[in-house]
Amino acid sequence: MTTAFGSGSPYAEASGWAGDVEFRAYCRAGKFVGVEMYAEASSVEGRLAAQLLKRTAGSAVTTKHDMGAAYSVLRPKGTASRFLTVEKNLAYGFEIVTYAVVDSADWNALREAYVRCSREEIDRDRKQDRRSRE
């Protein structure tokens, strides 16, 4: 599945599954700029996938803990920034692991485009709710 990050954004996302790992590939103007891999450790296969992502990520340079989640910045490889997030789902008792490798020059712009797109979706949903109430 391919989606764009809102109107006027040069970024697009293509996503899919390989076993218990979800992949999101990011492109800017037709050029690959990064990938994000996501696994829920809610089953035996999911736990193995989460362990694989953590092992692939390697050791962290810095880690920040915040409300049941650990956000780690990893050693860069070439021009790529690398990040690992391990969130604890307290309600269900399993981990959610996200490993991202994105070109350093595109990381902030990609996050801003994602937030802008999310805000556009929220605004669109609110307008639709108001119309349906009238």
Going through 1-134 in order, the beta strands assigned E by DSSP cover: 2-4, 11-18, 21-28, 31-40, 60-66, 69-77, 80-89, 94-103
% residues pLDDT > 70 (the chain): 90
Q: What is the pLDDT of residue 1?
A: 47
**Nearest-angstrom CA–CA distance, 47 and 19:** 12
Per-residue pLDDT at 2 exceeds 60: no
Q: What is the mean pLDDT of residues 74-96?
A: 82
pTM: 0.65
When pLDDT is cut at 50, 70 and 90, the band that residue 123 belongs to is confident
Type of residue at 6: G
